[in-house]
Structure 1
Amino acid sequence: MEAEVKEAIVLLKNLEYQLKHEPYGDLNKFTDFTELYQVIDETIFDLQNKKYEGITLSVRVGKTMSYINDALAFRGLRLSKKQSEAWNLFVHPTDKNYKRTR
């Protein structure tokens, strides 16, 4: 498995853990994140079993992150600044100035 795919899987697993425990852990009592966990698990499975590289990897992961961002926004939530920066650097790896312009 290529390094970028492994990195995407690690980021997705970390996001799933954070959704379950922190900072949204207390909200799990009031909000059902089951569909988000399912989308994350399906994306991880997809990344492990299909060959994604270059732009197709960014598009596949970007589609998942857009879904997650929309689902969180619908609940009045959003990713933390640190989470957003990690995903933006992953989805836009060729733009070396991306982090500096934010």
Structure 2
Amino acid sequence: MTFFAALGASASHAQLVRTLPANGKVGELAGQQHPFPLVQISNKVVRLAPGGLIYDQENRTIVHGSLPESASVLFVVDANGDVSRLYLLRPEELARLERAAGR
């Protein structure tokens, strides 16, 4: 029993750095103000691509209805201008992206 408690404690402290796409753009999400498949990112309403994926801070896929009211995001746009992937960022990921961009 103690082994499993220790295993659970150590697993919660280990957080992997997820690989984010290099061609992504950073923006601010304004959650559920628009019906599916539309989302508002940085004062611009954009469309989620057919088959587009939304990832939460733990890298799990979520549906449009589960989007938070606001969040920092990284998004990838396809050839049609639709958002093909949307990543909800953790604070440390946003800081890492800002450092990489030299902001």
Q: What TM-score, normalized by structure 1, do the two folds share? A: 0.25
Q: Which has the larger radius of gyration?
A: 2
Higher RCO (CA < 8 A, seq sep 6+): 1
